[in-house]
């Protein structure tokens, strides 16, 4: 899909001078927000942004403060599974 947005010159000029590649920054903003909302996985974010590794994606998500979707319930399940595996 191609998405086109129009940004007036008086707005785009300062963005270009500060950000350089405005198109890339917009794509990153969409990817970060979609991850925060749970609409994209980290793997999908990496694919969208052309990252070469999971670690590159993790660094990106950390930089944009889009934390891992991991709840206390997730932790409890993981701990339970680890205890169960240990006791076998």
Dump pLDDT digits (tens) for 56-72.
999 999 999 998 777 88
- Interval 41-45 mean pLDDT: 95
Query: What's the CA gap between 22 and 28, in Å, rounded?
Result: 10
Long-range Cβ contacts of 24-30 (<8 Å, 24+ apart): 28/60, 28/64
Query: What's the CA gap between 76 and 80, in Å, rounded?
Result: 6
Closest CA to 57 of 65, 47, 69: 47
Contacts of 5 (CB under 8 A, 6+ apart): 26
pTM of the full structure: 0.74
Work out the number of other CB atoms within 10 angstroms of the CB of residue 25. 14
pLDDT category at 42 given cuts 50, 70, 90 is: very high
Strands (E), the chain: none
Ordered by start, the domain boundaries in the chain are 9-86
């Amino acid at each position: 899909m191609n998405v086109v947005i129009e940004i007036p010159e008086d707005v785009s000029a300062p963005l270009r001078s500060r950000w350089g590649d405005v198109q890339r920054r917009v794509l990153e903003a969409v990817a970060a927000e979609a991850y925060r909302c749970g609409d994209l996985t980290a793997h999908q974010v990496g694919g969208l942004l052309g990252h070469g590794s999971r670690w590159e994606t993790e660094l990106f998500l950390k930089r944009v403060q889009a934390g891992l979707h991991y709840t206390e319930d997730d932790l409890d399940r993981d701990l339970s599974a680890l205890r169960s595996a240990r006791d076998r």
